[in-house]
Each structure stands twice: as structure tokens, then as C-alpha cells.
Structure 1
Amino acid sequence: MDNNLFDSHCHLDFEVFDDDREEVVERAYAAGVRAIFIPGTRRDTPRIRQQRIASVELYYGVGLHPYFIDEHKLGDIDWVEQQLQQHSAYWVGEIGLDKTCSDWDKQCKLFVRQVELAVEHQRSLILHHRNSQNDLLHHLKPYLDDLPQHKGILHAFSGSYEQAQDWVSKGFKLGIGGTITYTRAKKTRAAVQAVPLDALVLETDAPDMPLRGHQGQRNEPCRVAEVISVLAELRGEAYQDVARQLWQTSRQLIPSPVTDDNATC
């Protein structure tokens, strides 16, 4: 149990995994992964429906990701709400704001409405950001006190210690992935060294965000083992101690897997 790993952000439902999804999860299991969170990104993404694959528990979110802003309709919010009503274990996400994507006004409207749904249904958030951390905080501010105790995860954290502490002080965990394996990511590496260990969770963002040494390759959930090795080295702490704490934190955040046979998100 001490070395169990939880990949808190893996797009295992993407088409790139269709031909070898079970083998991918088997490799993850062999590396110590015992749970994977699969965020939602758009209404029409085909979803896998299992509670587990190869003894790895699967958890789910539902959300409208800014990458697909041109596909989203404002009416898709009704579908998001329907999914939350039907599936009590679903989180809200992956949602967020991205300065590299089009239609900022539409992004903001969809983001705020999904945060409102998270408040209404008392679900935690999986937050995407790109050049937008301050914008996220601006839009989140009116809702922070009404979100559940475990407010959620800032996915793919990159930034300074001051930015990290700001999110942690507001009740969010920081998703730590391949970024910290690059020595050039000095600010982020310094931040994850300094924040409390229980403020961090592991992630891969597979198939994206390849680790150092794996550039140009499809990322996989098995590589959280490499992420945590780098994290333990940066912090000067034992791998086993870091793994134990991050597993406990992740399980507290996401207490129960999907348990029905009708997960269609």
C-alpha cells in the first residue's frame, strides 16, 4: 500500500489509446499505479465505462475543455448538469481558461457556469490553465466559500512558489507531472520543493506532456513512477514516504469509483 500511485489526470478515453488501452493500464499497474482519474473534455468524446481495468480503479470527471471551445455549445451545460445528476462520483473537469484558444468570452461563460454547477452539486474541480491563473482566480473568487471542502486540483501546475501558495491557501491541490522532470523548469521545481507535501498530487496528462527523456513519445500513466521519483529527489524525502502521502491525499480527494454500468460521460 505504501508505494501505490494515483494518476490524477490521464485522458485514457482518447482515441490514441483505443488499440492498446488494456496493455497501457497493465504497464501502469506494473509500475505501481492503482487508480487513474479520467477527466471529461467535451460532450462527444467516446467514454470508457469500466470501474476498473487490469485491477486499476478508474474515476471520472465531466466538463467542457477550452481546447474544444469551437465545438461547445452553451446548451452543453445542460448535458454537464445531467451527467452530474446521474453520477454522484463525477467531478467537474477538466474545465478552465486558455489564452491560446479562441473565443475568450465564450470560455469565460462556460467556465463560470460549470463552477456554478460544481457549487450546486458540491463537486470538486479539475482546472486547466494556460497563461490564465490570475483569470481563473478572478472568476473563482465569488464561489470559493461555497465549493466543497476539497475544492479540487489545479492541473499541470507550473509557476512560482508564491503562485503555488496562493492556490494552496485557497484549498486547491497542485497537479504535478512531467514539467518537474525538466531542469529548465526552475521556478516550478523550487515551488514543489517548498510547499507542503499534502498539497500535491501526481499526474501524467497522458497522452500529452511527455517527461524528459520521452519527448516525442505518447505519454502513459506508468510514468507517474518517474514523476514521483523526481519529486522525492527534489524534496530530499524517501520515495516511500512521498508515495504514501500522495496516495492518501488523492484518495481523500476522490473517495469512490464509478459504481454503475451506465457511465456515458
Structure 2
Amino acid sequence: MLIDSHCHLDFEAFDADRQQVIESCQQKNIRGFMVPAVAPRFWPRQLQLASQYPQVALALGLHPWYVSETAIESLRDLAEIFDRSPVPVLAIGETGLDKLKGNPELQLEGLKYQLSVAQELDKPVILHSVKTHARLQNILRDYPGVRGVVHGFSGSYEDAMRFIDIGFKLGIGGLITRPNARKIRAAASRLPLHSMVLETDAPDMSPYDHRGARNSPENLLLILNCLAELQQQDPEQIQRAVLANTRELFAWPPSV
């Protein structure tokens, strides 16, 4: 069994065939989906999705690309939504920093607010980090006890180990299937199994053999097999480890 620790099944890219994608995943033994938020205005759509599909769990938050003063103000309702949600809201995010896109000052404000809520509620955080690993590591040290995952990790082994030392796991996705992604492939080959979860980031970040096409949680098996090859280990051993890591990280409901 596998859980996709990061996919955007609520996006319009899946409106035409969402049911079929989920059924296909079930046949491949992909039984759970963590669906993170990008902005508060999409939270109701996510909550509806999770109420329709018991395999779906949610993270609610504000992505650094979507920061605005209005969106940050909407974060004030975050703790209350966790309190009263009838569906599993297991994490905060995705939040983080992106040096290439978005307003840096608002990104930082939104990130710090979400980290403080995570600390208050004792919830894991899903982090987006583009060319900001060192800065994020410094910020995270100011929030002791906050744990989570650096999603779509693409950094070096040394950066990975620094995040692990702070209490974070690494989200390993389709990037490792690209032959020219030498840095993350080298890191993934050496990382301890307890430090990783698997993700597709669907509908984006398609594996190498599916480049140019819409990504799908169904491709999680390709990422699993690639990681097993890089680690030179049995895929079943990898599968058991990443499933246990995902369940532990998110306190995944026992029904899934």
C-alpha cells in the first residue's frame, strides 16, 4: 500500500476524470492522498473533495505564490477550521518561501503565521522551498517542535540532512526520475529510509517518461521503483518504510 503525500486532486485538471483516477490508484494499491492547499479561497473545494472521498486527507494553508494581504488575513480562520472540520485536516500548508516568484515580505509573513499555528495546534507543516533552503532552516529553528516535510525536495544531501536534523522529512517526487537531476538523485541514493515520503505533486512534476503530460497520483509507483533503484534496495522495503513515515508524519487516520 502507498499514500501520495502531496497531490492536488482538487485542481481543475482532474475535474473530467477524478473518479477514474482514484479508482485506478486503488487498483495499484495507492490508497491515500494528501491534498495540500494553495490559497484560502480554495479551502471549501478541498473540504468538499475530502467529504466525497474518504481516501483524501487535507492540509490547509497559503502557498507562497498566492500570498496577498487579503489571503494572509484569511489565515486568521485557520485554527478555527481545524477545530470544526468534519473531514481529516492533518497538516498546515503548503507554505514556505520561493525566491523566484511572489512577494518576499508577504511570503515571510504568511510563513511565520502558519508556523505559529502549527506550533499551537501541534500539526505538521508542508513546506515549499525554491532556492531558500538555508533561510528556511534558520527560520524553522525559531519554532522548536514544529515538524513536517519539505515537499518536492531538490537539494543536496547536505541540505537534506540539515532539514532532517531540524525534524523534517523530505518529499521525494518525479524529479528523481530525470537522468540529468544529478544532485537530487545523488541525495536520494544516500538518504536514510526514515527520512523520506513519496509524492507526485500531480498534476505537475510529471516523471521523466511522462514529461509533457498531466501528472497523476498513479505515477507514484514509478517514483517508488526509481527510488528503490537509486537506493539499491527491494521496492517492497522502500514501500513499507515510506508508508510508515507518511502515517507517522501526518498521524494518518487508521481507516485509510
TM-score (norm 2): 0.92
1:95 aligns to 2:95 (yes or no)? yes
> 1:49 offset after TM fit, Å?
3.4
**Partners in 2 of 1:127 and 1:92 — Cα distance?**
9
Tell me if 1:190 matches 2:186: yes
Tell me if the contact between 2:2 and 2:29 (Cα under 8 Å) persists in the aligned partners. Answer: yes
Query: Is the partner of 1:190 in helix, strand or coil?
Result: helix
Equivalence map 1:186-225=2 (5 Å): 186-225=182-221
Q: Distance in 2 between matches of 1:134 and 1:72?
A: 28
- Equivalents in 2 of 1:52, 1:253: separation in Å? 24
- Judge which range, 185-194 or 63-72, deviates more: 63-72
- 1:29 matched residue in structure 2: 26
Matched, 1:169 2:165: yes
Query: Considering only aligned residues, what root-mean-square deviation do their CA atoms show, in Å?
Result: 1.8
TM normalised by structure 1 equals 0.89
Q: What residue is the counterpart of 1:146 in the other structure?
A: 145
Q: Between Structure 1 and Structure 2, how many residues are aligned? A: 250
Contact 2:5/2:199, CA 8 A, preserved across alignment: yes
More helix by share: 2
Mark the runs of 5 or more structure 1 residues left unpaired by the alignment: 260-265
Query: Does structure 1 retain, via aligned residues, the 8 Å contact 2:96–2:127?
Result: yes
1:169: Cα distance to partner?
A: 1.2
Is contact 2:66-2:102 (8 Å) kept? Answer: no
Matched, 1:15 2:12: yes
Give the Cα–Cα distance (whole angstroms) in 2 for the partners of residues 38 and 13 of structure 1: 7
SS of structure 2 residue aligned to 1:73? helix
Residues 2-59 of structure 1, C-alpha deviation per residue, up to 9 Å, x if partnerless?
Answer: xx11100000011111111111111212222011100011111122333574xx7211
Q: Which has the higher contact order (CA 8 A, sep 6+)?
A: 1
2-structure distance, mates of 1:52, 1:155: 25
- 1:18-167 → structure 2 map (5 Å cutoff): 18-45=15-42, 46-47=45-46, 48-50=48-50, 53=53, 57-70=55-68, 72-87=70-85, 89-143=89-143, 145-147=144-146, 151-167=147-163
1:59-89, Cα deviation, whole Å (9 max, x unpaired) = 1110010121248433112122222232474
Unaligned stretches of 5+ in structure 2? none
